[in-house]
């Protein structure tokens, strides 16, 4: 944060006051003027550069660290503790294929064909499966109805993914609501009090101003978490100014940092807005993630002042014994929301503080600019010149890191057929460029040949340099270890879904070897990614009544989509979440029991899938019961004692926003659809029914995207993703 002048007190402070609305309009004007960049073209980002204060160069720029040994990158060894281990049980899909005819006269239950029209029956006979776009608000309802009808059940990978992600999202939200919000409030209270004490004890005006800035920082966060939080009188007006701006979305000059800030992001999304605790936690987390200190800036006065703030923060955490609370909040947020691999935290500066001051210094030691400059130089040498230190780690998902690599100007202009407008194309003064990502870009980066083919069919790969850039990203991600992938939840989720992108194996059932099944798996993968980006807005629970067949003598038959690697990874991810939250005391009894039960269900799914691929003819009674009762198990797991349950399926997320153009990639899930699959059960071809996702994607210009609430009610739905046509009949 750029330093401000020392905060006036008493009558001088009162003379500085002006009408709030006048201050807001002034800040808006200044913010807009400060944000007018000069673009070389429509897609070249230009950040305004403020003029540096013409002060003398710090002594460390010329002096060799005043006797301090020159540090290296290894001198800052700190890393946030790993959330928990990700251990995958052995699983294999390469087994002897089970061959069986797809002819209807061989079916054990031909009567079920009456639910499909003639075109759907043709598709079914040709490839062994077909999807009927009959809309259901919940996937689990399809399974409950199949159980009631006595139909053979096909548990799809879509269903297992949806159940797992719903419960993992619930665990993250409950941890935030029941534990992390209180932790962050206690941390805010402790650091605000410590910063106030540092300000009162400081004799130097610059040190005092730095301490008051820290007190204001934590008072804003504290007030967001608890409206009764009392800010020190010296910063109360400053705190109120920041909070007032958060209620009036727009670009303003931040009263605390002195730089333009977009305050629109502080409006909590629907899943958080409905609960005061979650809403406050959302806002305070964003505030602390944006509270970044730049040790790479050129303005010496601001640089020194930010260094003072950082050193005071380290001292405050140490003296108030809040390191453990900070680390628990930082490590948990970094796991749940994602973190850049090279992200720096305050902990990374400990070795620099130790080298220069012998530890985190007291306020009285920060008046000496020579030692302060040595600290900055030491930190820069070890952490890099552009060292940005946020108070809490700023979220960054794996997808957000990868997707810009396939956009302009990493990728050049359009080189496809004239008259064709690809989904990713944006018209600019320099021609048609790849200004928005495609929903399948990430799948192509992760090695999906079918995803790349879909991109080519739509012209979305026909850009200058696209192939070379894609190869670079594929090589980069292929080199990541399992530990690197699973360091945070967004990365672990993508890693968990990767088996869906593999082509069919010779040992897979006949329906999975149909070319259209690869399209279905691609849609499942994309829907899984959407679920990973979704914050669930919990609904009132529907009373649960166990389902039973209407016919007492109906045969009890079930089959699971044989994806043992996928289920093994979902099991590992569930255990990682359970262990990580449990080790940090962020797991209540009910959620702990649900995660344990889910891990057991996923382990059984893996074992059943392996049996199917191995050609085992008959499942055990318990295994068959798991498949038949899948809908009931699902509903029970996503329904809680406080009367809340998972919301209906239709979701819409802004998967990516181009920072230069505002162009958005929006991905939507519609209602669940029914899938009919001919599978081998007890050695005989059997028609089974289950549920799958419907998937949509939209490219929206800045400010023109669909609203999530409108998407929920939109009827009829637009055409779904085009590659679904190979297996959806009739086409909606």
Nearest-angstrom CA–CA distance, 79 and 73: 13
Reply yes or no on whether the pLDDT at 19 is more than 50. no
Q: What is the mean pLDDT of the chain?
A: 87
Nearest-angstrom CA–CA distance, 93 and 505: 8
Nearest-angstrom CA–CA distance, 29 and 50: 16
Reply yes or no on whether the pLDDT at 634 is more than 90. yes
In this prediction, residues 686-712 reach a mean pLDDT of 89
Reply yes or no on whether the pLDDT at 656 is more than 50. yes
Nearest-angstrom CA–CA distance, 252 and 25: 8
The DSSP result for 408-443, as a single string, is TTTS-BB-S-TT---TTEEEETTEEEE-S--TTHHH
Q: Please, which residues have CB within 8 angstroms of residue 400's CB and are 6 or more apart in sequence?
A: 338, 656
In this prediction, residues 145-157 reach a mean pLDDT of 96
Nearest-angstrom CA–CA distance, 405 and 445: 10
More confident residue, 413 or 274: 413
Reply yes or no on whether the pLDDT at 62 is more than 70. no
In this prediction, residues 307-336 reach a mean pLDDT of 91
Q: Please, which residues have CB within 8 angstroms of residue 519's CB and are 6 or more apart in sequence?
A: 450, 723, 724, 726, 727
pLDDT for the residue numbered 271? 84
pLDDT for the residue numbered 715? 84
Most confident of 52-61, 379-388, 570-579: 570-579
Share in percent of the chain as helix, strand, coil (round to 5):
50, 10, 35
pLDDT for the residue numbered 66? 43
- 324 CB-contact burial (10 Å; exposed 0-12 / middle 13-18 / buried 19+): exposed
**Max CA separation in the chain (angstroms):** 94
pLDDT for the residue numbered 582? 96
Reply yes or no on whether the pLDDT at 480 is more than 50. yes
Q: Which helix (H) or strand (E) holds 691?
A: strand 684-692
Q: Please, which residues have CB within 8 angstroms of residue 643's CB and are 6 or more apart in sequence?
A: 540, 541
**CB count, 10 Å around CB of 506?**
9
Contact 309, 210 (CB under 8 A): yes
Reply yes or no on whether the pLDDT at 14 is more than 80. no
Q: Please, which residues have CB within 8 angstroms of residue 439's CB and are 6 or more apart in sequence?
A: 526, 655, 665, 667, 695, 697, 721
Q: How many CA atoms lie within 13 A of 262 on its CB side?
A: 3
Of 582, 675, 441, give the one whose Cα is nearest residue 84: 582
Q: Which of 37-41, 227-231, 559-563 has the lowest mean pLDDT?
A: 37-41
List 414's β-bridge partners, or say none.
Answer: 463
pLDDT for the residue numbered 47? 30
Q: Which helix (H) or strand (E) holds 675?
A: strand 672-681
Contact 711, 705 (CB under 8 A): no
Nearest-angstrom CA–CA distance, 604 and 564: 10
Nearest-angstrom CA–CA distance, 537 and 540: 10
In this prediction, residues 637-659 reach a mean pLDDT of 89
Contact 702, 666 (CB under 8 A): no
List 676's β-bridge partners, or say none.
Answer: 130, 689
Q: Where would I find the H helices in 384-511?
A: 398-402, 441-445, 449-457, 466-478, 482-485, 489-497
Q: Please, which residues have CB within 8 angstroms of residue 408's CB and are 6 or more apart in sequence?
A: 43, 426, 433, 434, 435
pLDDT for the residue numbered 385? 66
Question: Cis peptide before 447, with omega less than 30 degrees from 0?
Answer: no
Q: What is the pLDDT of residues 488-542, one digit of tens each?
A: 999 999 999 999 999 998 889 999 999 999 999 999 999 999 999 988 888 888 8
What sign does the dihedral 26-30-35-36 (CA atoms) show?
positive
Q: What is the pLDDT of residues 249-299, one digit of tens each?
A: 888 999 998 888 888 889 898 888 889 999 999 999 999 999 999 988 888
Contact 194, 316 (CB under 8 A): yes
In this prediction, residues 656-669 reach a mean pLDDT of 85
Q: Which of 41-45, 265-269, 568-572, 633-637 has the lowest mean pLDDT?
A: 41-45
Quote the Cα angle for 654-659-665, to 5°: 25
As a whole-number percent, the residues of the chain with pLDDT over 70 amount to 89
Nearest-angstrom CA–CA distance, 246 and 7: 22
Cα distances (Å, whole numbers) of residue 512 to 493, 569, 694: 23, 20, 19
Nearest-angstrom CA–CA distance, 87 and 301: 49
Which residue is it, tokens 């460390």? 60
In this prediction, residues 2-22 reach a mean pLDDT of 33
* Residue 676: strand, helix, or coil: strand
216-220 long-range contacts, CB within 8 A, separation 24+: 216/242, 216/256, 217/1, 217/256, 217/291, 217/391, 218/188, 218/189, 218/191, 218/192, 219/188, 219/192, 220/256, 220/287
More confident residue, 646 or 571: 571
Q: Per-residue confidence at 683, pLDDT binned at 50, 70, 90?
A: confident
Nearest-angstrom CA–CA distance, 484 and 491: 8
Q: What are phi and psi of 638, to 5 degrees?
A: -100, 15
Reply yes or no on whether the pLDDT at 49 is more than 70. no
Nearest-angstrom CA–CA distance, 529 and 442: 10
**Structure tokens of 513?**
């070897």
Contact 242, 236 (CB under 8 A): no
Of 559, 655, 513, give the one whose Cα is nearest residue 156: 559
Reply yes or no on whether the pLDDT at 193 is more than 60. yes
Nearest-angstrom CA–CA distance, 688 and 681: 9
* Residue 335: strand, helix, or coil: helix
Reply yes or no on whether the pLDDT at 544 is more than 60. yes
Which residue is it, tokens 């060894």? 77
Cα distances (Å, whole numbers) of residue 524 to 28, 451, 520: 44, 12, 6
Nearest-angstrom CA–CA distance, 627 and 622: 9
**Structure tokens of 57?**
């160069």
Q: What are phi and psi of 655, to 5 degrees?
A: -70, -30
Q: Per-residue confidence at 317, pLDDT binned at 50, 70, 90?
A: very high
The DSSP result for 52-92, as a single string, is PP--PPPGGGTSSGGGPPPP-GGG----PPP-----PPP--
Q: What is the pLDDT of residues 76-116, one digit of tens each?
A: 556 788 999 999 999 876 667 788 999 999 999 999 999 99
**Structure tokens of 97?**
């294929």
Quote the Cα angle for 475-480-481, to 5°: 145
Q: Please, which residues have CB within 8 angstroms of residue 274's CB and are 6 or more apart in sequence?
A: 537
Nearest-angstrom CA–CA distance, 730 and 485: 39
Which residue is it, tokens 């392996």? 610
The DSSP result for 224-260, as a single string, is HH-TT----GGGHHHHHHHHHHHTS-SEEE-TTT-SE
pLDDT for the residue numbered 75? 53
What sign does the dihedral 613-616-617-623 (CA atoms) show?
negative
Q: Where would I find the H helices in 202-341?
A: 205-225, 236-246, 270-273, 276-290, 300-319, 323-337
**Structure tokens of 714?**
């939109």
Nearest-angstrom CA–CA distance, 31 and 568: 51
pLDDT for the residue numbered 76? 56
Nearest-angstrom CA–CA distance, 155 and 630: 8
pLDDT for the residue numbered 194? 95
Reply yes or no on whether the pLDDT at 702 is more than 80. no
Cα 728 to chain centroid distance, Å, stands at 30
**Structure tokens of 271?**
């899943």
């Amino acid at each position: 944060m750029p330093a401000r002048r020392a905060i006036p007190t008493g009558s001088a402070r009162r003379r500085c006051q002006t009408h709030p609305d006048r201050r807001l309009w002034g800040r808006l004007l200044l913010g807009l003027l400060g944000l007018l960049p000069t673009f070389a073209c429509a897609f070249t980002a230009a950040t305004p550069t403020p003029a540096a204060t013409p002060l003398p160069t710090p002594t460390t720029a010329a002096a060799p660290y005043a006797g301090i040994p020159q540090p290296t990158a290894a001198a800052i060894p700190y890393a946030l503790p790993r959330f928990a281990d990700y251990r995958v049980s052995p699983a294999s899909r390469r087994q002897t294929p089970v061959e069986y005819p797809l002819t209807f006269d061989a079916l054990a239950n031909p009567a079920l064909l009456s639910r499909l029209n003639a075109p759907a029956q043709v598709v079914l006979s040709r490839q062994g499966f077909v999807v009927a776009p009959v809309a259901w608000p919940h996937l689990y309802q399809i399974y409950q109805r199949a159980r009631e009808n006595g139909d053979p059940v096909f548990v799809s990978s879509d269903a297992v993914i949806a159940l797992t992600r719903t419960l993992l999202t619930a665990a993250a939200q409950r941890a935030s609501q029941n534990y992390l919000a209180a932790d962050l409030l206690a941390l805010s209270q402790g650091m605000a009090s410590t910063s106030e004490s540092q300000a009162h004890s400081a004799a130097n005006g610059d040190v005092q101003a730095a301490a008051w800035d820290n007190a204001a920082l934590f008072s804003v966060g504290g007030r967001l978490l608890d409206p009764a939080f009392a800010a020190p009188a010296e910063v109360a007006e400053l705190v109120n100014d920041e909070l007032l701006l958060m209620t009036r979305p727009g670009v303003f000059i931040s009263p605390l940092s002195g730089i333009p800030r977009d305050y629109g992001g502080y409006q909590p999304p629907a899943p958080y807005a409905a609960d005061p605790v979650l809403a406050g936690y959302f806002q305070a987390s964003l505030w602390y993630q944006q509270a970044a200190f730049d040790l790479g800036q050129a303005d010496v006065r601001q640089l020194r002042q930010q260094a003072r703030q950082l050193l005071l923060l380290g001292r405050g955490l140490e003296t108030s014994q809040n390191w453990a609370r900070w680390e628990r909040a930082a490590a948990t947020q970094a796991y749940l929301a994602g973190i850049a691999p090279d992200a720096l935290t305050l902990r990374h500066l400990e070795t620099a503080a130790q080298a220069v001051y012998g530890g985190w210094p007291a306020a009285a030691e920060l008046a000496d600019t020579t030692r302060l400059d040595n600290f900055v130089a030491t930190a820069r040498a070890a952490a890099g010149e552009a060292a940005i230190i946020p108070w809490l780690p700023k979220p960054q998902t794996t997808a957000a890191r990868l997707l810009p690599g396939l956009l302009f100007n990493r990728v050049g202009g359009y080189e496809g057929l004239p008259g064709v407008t690809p989904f990713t194309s944006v018209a600019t003064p320099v021609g048609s460029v790849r200004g928005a990502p495609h929903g399948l870009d990430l799948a192509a980066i992760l090695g999906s040949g079918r995803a790349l083919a879909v991109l080519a069919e739509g012209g979305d790969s026909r850009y200058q340099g696209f192939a070379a850039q894609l190869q670079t990203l594929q090589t980069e991600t292929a080199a990541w270890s399992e530990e690197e992938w699973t360091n945070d939840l967004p990365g672990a989720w993508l890693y968990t879904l990767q088996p869906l992108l593999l082509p069919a194996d010779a040992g897979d059932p006949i329906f999975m070897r149909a070319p259209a099944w690869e399209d279905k798996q691609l849609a499942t993968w994309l829907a899984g990614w959407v679920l990973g980006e979704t914050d669930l807005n919990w609904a009132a629970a529907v009373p649960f009544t166990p389902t039973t067949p209407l016919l007492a003598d109906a045969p009890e038959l079930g089959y699971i989509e044989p994806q043992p690697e996928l289920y093994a990874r979902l099991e590992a991810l569930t255990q990682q979440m359970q262990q990580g939250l449990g080790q940090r005391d962020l797991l209540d009894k009910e959620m702990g029991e649900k995660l344990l039960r889910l891990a057991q269900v996923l382990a059984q799914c893996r074992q059943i899938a392996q049996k199917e691929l191995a050609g085992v003819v008959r499942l055990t009674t318990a295994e068959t019961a798991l498949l038949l009762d899948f809908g009931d198990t699902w509903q029970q797991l996503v329904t809680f004692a406080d009367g809340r349950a998972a919301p209906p399926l239709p979701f819409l997320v802004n998967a990516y926003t181009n920072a230069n153009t505002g162009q958005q990639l929006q991905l939507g899930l519609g209602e669940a659809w029914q899938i009919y699959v001919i599978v081998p059960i007890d050695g005989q071809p059997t028609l089974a029914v289950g549920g799958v996702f419907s998937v949509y994607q939209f490219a929206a210009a800045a400010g023109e995207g669909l609203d999530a609430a409108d998407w929920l009610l939109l009827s009829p739905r637009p055409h779904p993703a085009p590659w679904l046509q190979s297996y959806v009949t009739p086409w909606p």
